[in-house]
Amino acid sequence: MHILAVLPLIGLAAAHTAFTTLYVDGQNQGDGVCVRMNRDAKTATFPIEPLTSGDVACGIDGEKGVARVCPARSSSTLTFEFREYADGSQPGVLDRSHKGPCAVYMKRVDDATADNNAAGDGWFKIWQSDYDASAGEWCTERIIDNDGHLSVVIPDDIQAGYYLVRPELLALHSAQETPPDPQFYVGCAQVFVQSSGTASPPTVSIGEGTYDLDTPGMTYNIYQDPLPPYPMYGPPVYQSEQSKRSADKRAPMVQQIGLKPDGCILERDNWCAFEVPSYNDQQGCWAAVDKCWEQNDECWETAYPTGGQNCHIWENKCHDMNDSCNNGAFTGPPDSGKDLTPPAPPLKGSTKVFKRGHQQFRRGHI
């Protein structure tokens, strides 16, 4: 029995927010492409629990690498899309009551697709934003107002290579309660950075026990009036060094891992469908139909919480091939090798980087 389009209708109830989609210099990489996220649609938008969990590195299932790595350059703008419903079936970013700061970290790794390389040392902060006193808004509110998008610029002096990039939102709407309940929402993008820089920023460890209720800012009461300065947690934001820019004269590093596979004709997050074998008789026609349905089942069964919308396209291909075989058209497949992946929708929000907040709030705590 083949799996059809009923699966996206289950297990997608909203609960807060999730990082679902990466944009590089404004170009949509596709829902779920290069993104490590909670694979369970029912809990994909849940916060990290408990606060001390090692999942805070790249989120639930964040130690599982995905097949794709998105290319970027030093000084590229990365934009992270957050959704209240991971598959975008309903509008929404995050409940506006979930106010709090944001930060983005990077970690250089040998292989961005490898498992078990998120938690631990190697992380450096490239951007943060808390409360903008002049606008009277927290970072999370600005993300909501920007259709769920948060943008940062990759430092222009870091070394080329594979990186995990980690956007982090902290909701403080229940931080003042007894017991306090600060809520982290994190995920990670897998990126290859082209660069001639040589900088190796100082790093910190992120993982089990990184955050607890004694960490500055975890029990901050957002309902105070007036608001005292927010004690931003974590290390200071890394500042690029002029001397480290364009200093590496070696042959440029070239991405070898996480590329789109040859022969891929339909992408669904990090999964690819491949053309069925060609045929010119009845037996070959039906064998190709079986191969098509095998991939269809895999498409639906392995779909990320961002949804299996593109599985509909493959499903239709299988139906068309089935009809052709029934009608005696035993030569094919039709449109062999045609790329069926639809264009990714354009960015709705702005790629402008939010300012970090009032000057007195910029200092980090290691």
Per domain, the residue ranges of the chain are 12-259+351-361
**Do 162 and 198 touch, CB atoms closer than 8 A?**
no
**Do 140 and 94 touch, CB atoms closer than 8 A?**
yes
Average pLDDT over residues 167-192: 98
Range with lowest mean pLDDT among 14-28, 42-56, 295-309: 14-28
- According to DSSP, the β-strands at 271-274 and 264-268 are antiparallel
Which residues, 6+ apart, have CB-to-CB distance to 113 below 8 Å?
65, 66, 67, 68, 69, 190, 257, 258
Provide the pLDDT for residue 356.
74
Confidence band, pLDDT 50/70/90 cuts, at residue 266: very high
Q: Is the pLDDT at 247 greater than 70, yes or no?
A: no
Average pLDDT over residues 311-337: 97
Q: Is the pLDDT at 245 greater than 70, yes or no?
A: no
The pLDDT tens digits for 60-76 are: 999 999 999 999 999 99
Within 10 A of 276 (CB to CB), how many other CB atoms are there?
Answer: 24
Provide the pLDDT for residue 355.
82
The fold for domain 12-259+351-361 equals: Coagulation Factor XIII; Chain A, domain 1 (2.70.50)
